[in-house]
Every structure is written in structure tokens, then in C-alpha cells.
Amino acid sequence: MEAFVSRFVDRVTIHVAAGDGGNGCASVHREKFKPLGGPDGGNGGRGGDVRLVVDPGVHTLLDFHYRPNARASNGKPGRGSLRNGAIGEDLELAVPEGTVVLTPDGEVLADLVGAGTTFVAAHGGRGGLGNAALASKARKAPGFALLGEPGDELDLVLELKSVADVGLLGFPSAGKSSLISVLSAARPKIADYPFTTLAPNLGVVTAGETVFTVADVPGLIPGASEGRGLGLDFLRHIERCAVLVHVVDCATLEPGRDPLSDVDALEAELAQYTPALQAEHGGPDLASRPRLVVLNKVDVPEARELADLVRPDLQERGWPVFEVSTASREGLRELGYAMAAEVERYRAQLPPPEPARVVVRPTAVDDGGFTVEPDPQVEDAFVVRGEKPERWVRQTNFDNDEAVGFLADRLAKLGVEEELAKQGAQPGSQVTIGSMTFDWEPSTPAGVAAVMGRRGTDMRLEHNDRTSASDRKAARRARRTSLDEQGGYVEEVDEEDEE
């Protein structure tokens, strides 16, 4: 029998950060006696993702409790001579079967079922294109490159619905922590004063082929269902356990206590408690869950006598009874195997694990669309929203005029300028995209055409625009081919397909 855990964690908030994309490189090919070479700046590498992967060897969220921060590595910047930056390494975090991923607001993002099921918790940022990839017929030697995008960075809540297979029920000092310490390798605090255990402990027990978890929880006292002692905390944990085990102190000298009345008192508490989870998720109620009874401390002669005395009464209720001593370690092997058998029985009647039910976060959709709306806070100002425009702004180095010009071209090609003009934007109107606000200067045929079109018509300009569109398409096709050959390539340079 083995184990590794000494604390019980079923809910944890983690902070995940994907890697940033590397910046593209602006560089010009240099050779002796050939001063004017072409652009040869490579692309930045993509940042690494943070992924959650179901690993059957992991049984708790404990690791996240100790290490709640996870960061994947950044992509490397591109370099001269067409060298692309290395891609950032993905970070995989092993989570137990049944881990539920939520936003801090409680929205369920994924319910991870089945070994190997993967959820991308944070997407790495795209690498920026280097100036070689940005070169085109019209822009033969770009003096700029695109910035890498920051990776996603966010908080997530992980929850484990079924935190333990077996829950130990018992009065304070009955020997629950002692039992878990001898069944598993967990080393909880054990002492002869009540409520030694303040936070539940979890042990992983191996009996034969079966690996299962046992939760040692704070001692239960009458009134717990109304919140006495550590009652409600205790009950919240117990309701997640498939098998309940009464741990009874046969050596207590407290007046009014004996094994039968102890068991009755705890059963009465269970009966009064309405499990929160049951209401939420359905599932078997506490009353119908299998129980075992452990008569503990039989190394004490009086305790063994008492155990022998009450054993038939308990068996009459249909509960298997085990006499053990965590001190002399008597009866433990048999108990371990009996727990394993109950756990196996429970698992066998569970519906087979559903295929991965993963809810993808809605922000990942890139439909190429955008919206333009008047800014509700500022007069004569507009807000542009959309995956592409916002991304393009993030990729732009605003210290470089040429890069800003390139951004303006991209926005015009997507139709953002035209739409702004349609909605009445004037030169000098404030336009906000993502985290940037600009003064609008319609600089392109598309923008002007729209302004003209609104006033009347200008077929000439529309015509010009059509011609240049087919030109651009041809140029784009050529460029794409050359990009594909580079390999490790990051994104399409232009998204003019909307034309």
C-alpha cells in the first residue's frame, strides 16, 4: 500500500500564461559589393500553449495547490538571413479524470473525461512576420516587421467533482487519521485531542489491482448538519465519496458513548443533511451509499471485548464489520481489500465515461468579420471590433511609420475604412481598435470611394479599385507560395479574401 498526499484539495484557482509570440525581424540582406540586397528578416516563433491533459496516474489537484502558476515559453524572435524564430514549447499540465475547468465567475469551460483528453487553457501568441514575408510587389523592401502577439493569460478554477472514493466517518479521536496513515503513506497529524484534523487529508491506497483514494475528514459530532463543530465542511466532503466507512472508537471512556450510539448519531446527521451536489448533479443519495464499519483500537483488551459485543448488531444492519487496530496494525489488510471491492463495485455500475465534453471558449472564433459602432462615451468617435483588426493593431509597432501605413492598408482592404465612412466618420474622428485610439485619416481608395459614393458616384475610383484588387491577388498568390516553402510559418500575411 502506498500513497503520496497529505492534504485534501478539490478546488483550486490557477493562473495560466501562454507564451508570447516572437517579433518578426526587419533586416536587409548584406553581401560584400552588393549593398542593396532584398529584405531577409525571418518570422517570430509562435508562443507555447498551456494545455490540461487528463492523466490516469493523477488522482488529486494537490500539485496545483503548491504550484498554481503555469507559464509556457515564448516564441523566439526572427533573425536576419531568413531565419525564423523557434516556436515556444507547449506546457502540459496533468489533471485527474473528471476535472472541471471553470472561469473565476463559475462558467464551466470544460469537463475533462477520458485519459488523454486535452483542453487548451491558454493559447500561445502568434509570431510576427518578418520583413521578408511582408515584401510584395508594391512593397519591395519593407523597413518594418510585425510584432509577436502576447499569449493568453488568465485565471482558471479547477474542480474535482469526485474527490475521494472512500470517506471516513467518525467522532473526533476515533482514529480516522491514524487509519489513513497506516493504510496509505499519507502522514496526517495524529493526536489524542479532538479536532486534530482541521482540513481533510487524502490518502491513495493500493489494494491488489485497485487504486483508490480515502478521505480523512474532520471529526463529526451531533449537530454537524446544522453546522456544529466542523460539521458542514465535513459533510461537503463526505457527499463526494462513493463508499462511507464508519470509524468507531471502541476504547473511549467518554460517558454516553458506545459504538452503537456513535454510529446511530452519525447516521442521524447524514440523514438530516441535504447534499448540495445531489441537488446540482443528481447521483445516489447518502443513505443508499455502501458502508463499512471499522471497530478501532482492539489492541486495548476492553475495546476488543466491546467490539465482539456490538459486532452482531452492526452486521444485522447489513454492514460488513472489521475489527482493527491502527496501533498493532491488526485487521488492516482485510479492511483494505474490502474497501477496494466496494470501490470496484461502485465503479462497475457507473455509466461509462462520456466522450470528452469540451466547451471551447467563444473568443477563439475568427470569422473575419468586424463591427463599427459609434463610441457611446465620446462624440464623433467610433469603436471597431473584430478578431482581425484587433490582432493587426497588436502586431503593429507604432514607432515605425511604415508599419502604421501597413496597418492602414490592411484595415482598408478588410473594408473598415469604407464602413467608417459609411457611418459618417470624418477625417480627424477618433477611432478605437483594441487598446489603441487613432485620429482617422482616410488614406486609401476604399475609404475615398465610399465617401464619394455617399455623395453621388465615382465609377472611376471604383474601377481603379477593382483593377488593383486583381493585381494584389496575383501578388498575394506568389507571396504565399514562397512563404509555404519556408516552413514553420506563422500566419497569412494578408487576408484580402473578403474582396
Ligand X SMILES: Nc1nc2c(ncn2[C@@H]2O[C@H](COP(=O)(O)OP(=O)(O)OP(=O)(O)O)[C@@H](O)[C@H]2O)c(=O)[nH]1
Binding site for ligand X (CB under 6 A): 170, 172-178, 190-192, 194-197, 218-219, 251, 296-297, 299-300, 325-327
Among Mg ion, ligand X, none, residue 397 binds (CB under 5-8 Å by kind): none
Q: Is 233 in the site for Mg ion (CB under 5 A)?
A: no
Cβ-based nearer residue to Mg ion, 144 or 171: 171
56 is known to lie in a ligand binding site: no
| Nearest-angstrom CA–CA distance, 110 and 158 | 10
| Measured CA angle at 65 (ends 62, 66), to 5 deg | 100
The 3-state DSSP class for residue 430 equals strand
443 is known to lie in a ligand binding site: no
218 is known to lie in a ligand binding site: yes
Q: Quick one: how far is CA 352 from the chain centroid?
A: 24
Exactly one of 43, 131, 177, 395 binds Mg ion (CB under 5 A); that residue is 177
At closest approach, how far in Å is the CB of 295 from ligand X? 10
Q: Is 429 in the site for Mg ion (CB under 5 A)?
A: no
Q: Give the H or E element holding residue 384.
A: strand 381-385
| Nearest-angstrom CA–CA distance, 147 and 393 | 10
Exactly one of 118, 136, 162, 196 binds Mg ion (CB under 5 A); that residue is 196
Q: Is 197 in the site for Mg ion (CB under 5 A)?
A: yes
Cβ-based nearer residue to Mg ion, 80 or 219: 219
197 is known to lie in a ligand binding site: yes
Candidates 39, 19, 40, 24; CA nearest to 146 is: 24
Cβ-based nearer residue to Mg ion, 257 or 480: 257
370 is known to lie in a ligand binding site: no
Among 3-11, 188-196, 307-315, 350-358, the segment contacting Mg ion (CB under 5 A): 188-196
**Reading across the β-sheet that carries 108-112, which strands appear in turn?**
69-71, 11-17, 153-160, 99-102, 108-112, 357-358
Cβ-based nearer residue to ligand X, 47 or 200: 200
Beta bridge mates, 16: 70, 154
Tell me what percent of the chain is helix, strand and coil, each rounded to the nearest 5.
Answer: 30, 20, 45
| Nearest-angstrom CA–CA distance, 83 and 177 | 60
96 is known to lie in a ligand binding site: no
Q: Is 194 in the site for Mg ion (CB under 5 A)?
A: no
328 is known to lie in a ligand binding site: no
Among 14-22, 189-197, 363-371, 374-382, the segment contacting Mg ion (CB under 5 A): 189-197
Beta bridge mates, 497: none
Among ligand X, Mg ion, none, residue 175 binds (CB under 5-8 Å by kind): ligand X
At closest approach, how far in Å is the CB of 179 from ligand X? 7
60 is known to lie in a ligand binding site: no
CB 296 within 8 A of CB 175: yes
Q: Is 173 in the site for Mg ion (CB under 5 A)?
A: no
Count of alpha carbons within 13 angstroms of residue 107, beta-carbon side: 8
Cβ-based nearer residue to Mg ion, 230 or 303: 230
Cβ-based nearer residue to ligand X, 178 or 429: 178
176 is known to lie in a ligand binding site: yes
Cβ-based nearer residue to ligand X, 245 or 416: 245
| Nearest-angstrom CA–CA distance, 21 and 299 | 65
Residues in the chain, overall count: 499
- b (16+ CB within 10 A) / e for 280-318: eeeeeebeebbbbbbbbbbebeebbebbeebbeebeeee
Among Mg ion, ligand X, none, residue 396 binds (CB under 5-8 Å by kind): none
Binding site for GTP, residues? 170-177, 195-199, 216-219, 296-299, 325-327
Binding site for Mg(2+), residues? 177, 197
Binding residues (CB under 5 A) for Mg ion: these are 176-177, 196-197
